[in-house]
Every structure is written in structure tokens, then in C-alpha cells.
């Protein structure tokens, strides 16, 4: 079946769709199973579960490189919905190279990237916490958030998907071998938006469609700055085979990691081994695939994905399930036998201490902890009022008002660098300098305080005046 997008009919640019997804395909004279992975339902439960564990402070990073620790990857994997992805991509046949030990980390790392791009998370030392936006996401239906995650990631300037291919080295060298990723992501996203929902297409056919249309892209600027595994194996040559290999791999990662994780595309997977002929690439010529992403045989756009890609609200957006519980004057919250959604239970865990299976207790400490993580007394009061029949008890209102009054007395304005100035005349000159007086503070004594966000400008202005800050 062929699909011709309206804007390309005159140029006869087509997408070849599969009539049905095959159960098996032949690769190098052997039959392999095609496994379909549906993503919409998994996305909803995964987002709620992951935001919950982050809100509890259970996820940590290495503060040096800001990457997830091994323990964090395992913890995230534990709460994500089980799919066939890891099983299909992680078990190499006997004698096949390479072995992909990182297959199990694909979804945890993708979720981390999505939440980071959308600014749902922040780093407090080695602990990952939710930002105020992330806290608000806990109280919104996941179906409303997927478009926000996708669009923020597409616009992100700080990540190139090819970094996920561990054997491709030299990506950050001074030769700048790779092009800026964001414009290429936008082209792929625009091409995905032309596909109708529910129709399977192979990755190879979709790549040919993109490169023969106005969505054609090149992620490679200078392949001679790249190499596989070791530099002494030789740099990559600027040939169509090299460029197409890297371009297609870039596209595969976007579809398989980001689009699938956000519930935008369902996947059709096969074992990646045997899908590539790499005999022309020295050092990996005996390999039969480059990365786990070679296991992506095809995909289809979901109904949600079509709405998101075309910038519409999802037609199946649901209102939050009604919540009813009793808030008592002794600060206890009684839920009875009601079954809550994960985001509602996470909100209760955040603002109150659990006493028993159906009882929570709010306190000054629990509310302060929630505020410290990005919540507010006003939002907590609104949450309780919507769920509690009638007015809240006066004791609870007084507690929330008291916390609100006290937290507003202090405000974190950020970090400053304290600079000692031994000469009072120089201090006066700095504080009254037209370019510095709004970028520094007089804390008294022989000091000048400079917010760290202004430090670079502060040093540059001083240097122009002939003064060096040691």
C-alpha cells in the first residue's frame, strides 16, 4: 500500500506501508520473529510511576557527569512496564557480535533524557528531584503531558542521539564531525507528522521517503573525524554508505527511544544481529549490526502520536478520576477502600506521612518537605478542598496558613560569590560603576557580593578597568 502526502503528489513521493505486520521475516537465510510493542498504555503507567519514585528522592546521579548511576537505572527499570524490547535486543545468538549489555538501560536513560529536556527534574547534589513543573505533572493526566515531553525534546540543543552508539567514537572532537541535532530532529518530526495513524511502515522505507523529500537531512558534517572503537582502525570515509549508515541510525534512535517512550509510535522489533553488512568498516567488519537500534524493523504512529505531531490536543484526554477522602481536625486523612491513581497516591505521599493502608497524617514537617520539593501551601489546600466534602477543618486551615506565612519570610535568590575589597575607595567605585552597580550587592564590611550568574560580566568589566580578580 502506498501513501502519497498531499503536498508531494505532484512529485510522486510515496511511503510504502505494510498491508499487515508479518509474524516473521527472513534475514540471511534464517527466519526471525517480528515482535510488536504497543506503547500508549505503557507510557501512561511509566510516567506516573517514574515521577513518583523521583518525588521520593530514590533516583541518584553521578554528580561529576550528571548521568544516572547503575543503581538508579535498575530502580527505574523496576518501576517501568515490562515490554519485549529488552528481551528482543539484549540476548545475542551464540557467536554473534556485538553483545549489547546496555539494552536494558535504553528506556531508563530515555525517560531521564525526556524529563530533563522538559525541565521536570533538577539535581540537588547527587539526588534527582522534581521541579515545580514536575510536581504539577504529578497531578495532570499523563495523556496531557506526552506532547509537552516530545516538543521540549525536539527543541533541545544539548543532545545528539548518535551518542547512544557506544562504538562510534570522536563525536565530540575538535573537528566537529556531527551537525547540530535539533534542526535534524525537527525534520524527522515533520516527516512523522505526514504519516497516518495505525499503518505499519518499515524503517528502511521511511528513511528512503525522508531522504527523497523536503525532509532530507544529514547529521554528519565531517565523517573523517569519526571512527569505530579505536582510532588506529582508521577514520570513517566520506562515502554514501557511511553517511546513510549514520543518518539512518540517528533516525532509528529518535523513533525507537523518544517517539516510542512518549507513546507516539508503536514498534515492530527483530533481533538486530544479521541486519547489517559492515564488511567495509575496518575494526567492526565481522559484526552483523551496529547497535541495538538496528533491531527496529518498523513502526506505526499511534492516534495520540498523530495528534501530538500535528500540534492538536489528544482527542482521548481524560479528566482526572474523582477523588474523595476525609480530612479530620486531628490532621489525619482517611481514604477508606477507594482505589487511587498513581499520581494521586504520590501526591498524598508527598504532603503527608502514611500511618496505615488507608490513613495519612499531615503535619508542619510534611508540608515543609513538600514545599521544599516544589509544592506550595496554596496548591496543597486546593488539592485537599477538592477531595474533602465540605469545608476543611479549621485546624488544617490554620496549619496551612501558618506555613504559608512563615515560608514567605525567606526567599532563595541564588548563589553569590563573596569578594573581599581591602580598599574602601575601590569598593565604592565598584558599587557605583554604571555596568556593575546592578550586578553586585553591598553586604557590609569590606565585602562585595556578586551573584554567580553575573560573575563572568563582573570579571570582564573589572579587567577592562585594569583590575584582575584573583
Whether 94 is covered by a domain: the verdict is yes
Cell numbers for 464: 577592562
Whether 280 is covered by a domain: the verdict is yes
Which pLDDT belongs to residue 266?
Answer: 93
Q: Flag whether pLDDT at 9 surpasses 50.
A: no
Which pLDDT belongs to residue 268?
Answer: 93
Which of these three, 254, 280, 309, is where a domain ends?
A: 309
Which pLDDT belongs to residue 394?
Answer: 92
Which pLDDT belongs to residue 442?
Answer: 92
Whether 317 is covered by a domain: the verdict is no
More confident residue, 411 or 383: 383
Average pLDDT over residues 172-182: 84
Where is mean pLDDT largest: 38-52, 408-422, 423-437? Answer: 423-437
Average pLDDT over residues 428-456: 90
d(CA 351, CA 368): 8
Which of these three, 243, 277, 309, is where a domain ends?
A: 309
- Given a contact cutoff of 8 angstroms between Cβ atoms, the answer to whether 332 and 360 are in contact is yes
Kindly write down the DSSP assignment for every residue of 167-198, as one continuous string: TEE-TTSTT--B--HHHHHHHHHHHHTTSPTT
Residues 31 and 180 in one domain: yes
Where is mean pLDDT largest: 19-33, 96-110, 377-391? Answer: 19-33
d(CA 358, CA 341): 14
d(CA 44, CA 121): 18
Strands 201-202 and 227-228: unpaired
Which pLDDT belongs to residue 192?
Answer: 94
Tens digits of per-residue pLDDT, 269-314? 998 888 888 888 887 888 888 888 998 999 999 988 998 888 654 4
Kindly write down the DSSP assignment for every residue of 111-160, as one continuous string: HHHHHHHTT-EEEETTEEEE-HHHHHHHTS-GGGTHHHHHHHHHH-SS--
Residues 304 and 334 in one domain: no
**What is the band of 196 on the pLDDT scale with cuts at 50, 70, 90?**
very high
Q: Flag whether pLDDT at 381 surpasses 50.
A: yes
Which pLDDT belongs to residue 320?
Answer: 44
**What is the band of 339 on the pLDDT scale with cuts at 50, 70, 90?**
low
Domain that holds residue 453: 416-464
Which pLDDT belongs to residue 40?
Answer: 83
Residues 335 and 438 in one domain: no
Residues 232 and 332 in one domain: no
194: nearest Cα among 304, 310, 298, 299 = 310
Within 13 Å, how many C-alpha atoms sit on residue 1's CB side?
Answer: 12
Mean pLDDT in the chain? 83
d(CA 130, CA 53): 10
Which pLDDT belongs to residue 88?
Answer: 64
Whether 44 is covered by a domain: the verdict is yes
Cell numbers for 397: 486551615
**What is the band of 318 on the pLDDT scale with cuts at 50, 70, 90?**
very low
Residues 403 and 420 in one domain: no
Average pLDDT over residues 102-117: 84
Residues 195 and 340 in one domain: no
**φ, ψ of residue 267 in degrees (nearest 5):** -115, 150
Residues 260 and 393 in one domain: no
Strands 127-130 and 121-124: antiparallel
- Tell me if the pTM is above 0.75: no
Residues 304 and 372 in one domain: no
Residues 207 and 305 in one domain: yes
**φ, ψ of residue 138 in degrees (nearest 5):** -60, -30
Q: Flag whether pLDDT at 424 surpasses 70.
A: yes
Residues 20 and 108 in one domain: yes
Which pLDDT belongs to residue 3?
Answer: 45
User: Domains in the chain: how many in total?
Assistant: 3
Residues 223 and 352 in one domain: no
Range of weakest confidence among 90-94, 97-101, 455-459? 90-94
Which of these three, 281, 309, 337, is where a domain ends?
A: 309
Average pLDDT over residues 234-259: 89
Residue 332 CB: number of other CB atoms within 10 A? 16
Where is mean pLDDT largest: 160-164, 175-179, 197-201? Answer: 197-201
Whether 78 is covered by a domain: the verdict is yes
Within 13 Å, how many C-alpha atoms sit on residue 14's CB side?
Answer: 7
Q: Flag whether pLDDT at 460 surpasses 50.
A: yes
Portion of the chain with pLDDT greater than 70, in percent: 87
d(CA 37, CA 39): 6
Whether 315 is covered by a domain: the verdict is no
d(CA 433, CA 437): 5
Kindly write down the DSSP assignment for every residue of 243-293, as one continuous string: HHHHHHHHHHHIIIIIIHHTTSEEEEE--STTS---TTSTTSTT-S-SSGG
Whether 319 is covered by a domain: the verdict is no
Residues 421 and 403 in one domain: no
Whether 104 is covered by a domain: the verdict is yes
Which pLDDT belongs to residue 299?
Answer: 96
Tens digits of per-residue pLDDT, 212-233? 989 999 998 888 888 888 887 7
Amino acid at each position: 500500500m502506498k501513501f502519497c502526502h498531499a503536498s508531494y503528489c505532484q512529485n510522486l513521493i510515496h511511503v510504502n506501508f505494510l498491508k499487515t505486520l508479518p509474524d516473521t521475516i527472513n534475514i540471511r537465510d534464517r527466519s526471525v520473529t517480528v515482535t510488536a510493542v504497543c506503547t500508549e498504555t505503557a507510557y501512561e503507567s511509566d510516567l506516573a510511576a517514574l515521577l513518583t519514585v523521583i518525588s521520593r528522592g530514590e533516583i541518584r546521579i553521578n554528580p561529576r557527569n550528571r548521568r544516572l548511576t547503575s543503581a538508579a537505572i535498575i530502580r527505574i527499570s523496576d518501576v517501568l512496564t515490562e515490554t519485549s524490547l529488552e528481551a528482543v535486543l539484549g540476548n545475542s545468538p551464540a557467536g554473534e557480535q556485538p553483545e549489547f549489555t546496555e539494552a536494558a538501560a535504553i528506556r531508563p536513560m530515555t525517560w531521564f533524557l525526556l524529563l530533563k529536556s522538559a525541565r521536570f527534574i533538577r539535581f540537588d547534589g547527587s539526588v534527582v528531584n522534581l521541579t515545580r513543573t514536575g510536581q504539577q505533572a504529578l497531578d495532570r493526566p499523563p495523556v496531557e503531558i506526552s506532547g509537552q515531553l516530545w516538543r521540549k525534546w525536539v527543541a533541545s540543543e544539548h543532545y545528539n542521539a548518535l551518542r547512544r552508539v557506544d562504538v562510534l567514537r570522536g563525536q565530540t572532537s575538535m573537528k566537529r564531525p556531527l551537525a547540530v541535532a535539533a534542526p535534524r530532529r525537527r525534520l524527522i518530526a515533520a516527516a512523522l507528522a505526514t504519516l497516518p495513524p495505525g499503518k505499519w511502515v518499515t524503517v528502511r522505507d521511511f528513511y528512503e521517503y525522508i531522504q527523497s523529500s523536503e525532509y532530507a537531512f544529514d547529521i554528519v558534517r565531517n565523517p573523517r573525524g569519526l571512527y569505530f572503537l579505536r582510532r588506529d582502525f582508521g577514520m570513517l570515509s566520506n562515502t554514501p554508505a557511511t553517511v546513510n549508515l549514520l543518518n539512518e541510525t540517528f533516525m532509528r534512535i529518535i523513533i525507537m527511544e523518544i517517539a516510542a517512550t512518549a507513546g507516539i509510535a508503536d514498534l515492530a522489533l527483530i533481533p538486530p544481529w544479521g541486519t547489517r553488512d559492515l564488511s567495509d568498516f575496518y575494526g567492526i567488519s565481522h559484526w552483523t549490526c551496529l547497535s541495538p537500534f538496528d533491531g527496529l524493523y518498523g513502526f506505526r504512529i499511534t492516534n495520540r502520536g498523530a495528534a501530538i505531531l500535528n500540534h492538536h490536543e489528544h482527542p482521548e484526554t481524560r479528566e482526572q478520576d474523582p477523588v474523595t477522602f476525609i480530612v479530620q481536625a486531628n490532621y489525619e486523612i482517611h481514604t477508606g477502600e477507594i482505589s487511587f491513581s498513581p499520581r494521586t497516591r504520590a501526591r498524598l505521599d508527598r504532603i503527608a506521612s502514611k500511618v496505615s493502608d488507608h490513613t495519612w497524617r499531615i503535619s508542619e514537617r510534611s508540608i515543609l518537605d513538600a514545599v521544599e520539593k516544589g509544592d506550595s501551601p496554596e496548591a496543597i489546600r486546593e488539592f485537599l478542598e477538592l477531595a474533602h466534602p465540605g469545608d476543611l477543618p479549621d485546624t488544617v486551615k490554620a496549619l496551612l496558613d501558618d506555613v504559608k506565612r512563615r515560608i514567605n519570610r525567606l526567599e532563595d535568590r541564588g548563589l553569590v560569590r563573596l569578594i573581599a575589597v581591602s580598599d574602601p575607595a575601590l569598593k565604592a567605585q565598584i558599587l557605583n560603576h554604571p555596568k556593575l552597580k546592578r550586578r553586585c550587592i553591598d553586604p557590609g564590611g569590606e565585602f562585595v557580593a556578586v551573584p554567580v550568574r553575573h560573575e563572568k560580566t563582573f570579571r570582564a568589566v573589572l579587567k577592562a578597568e585594569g583590575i584582575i580578580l584573583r
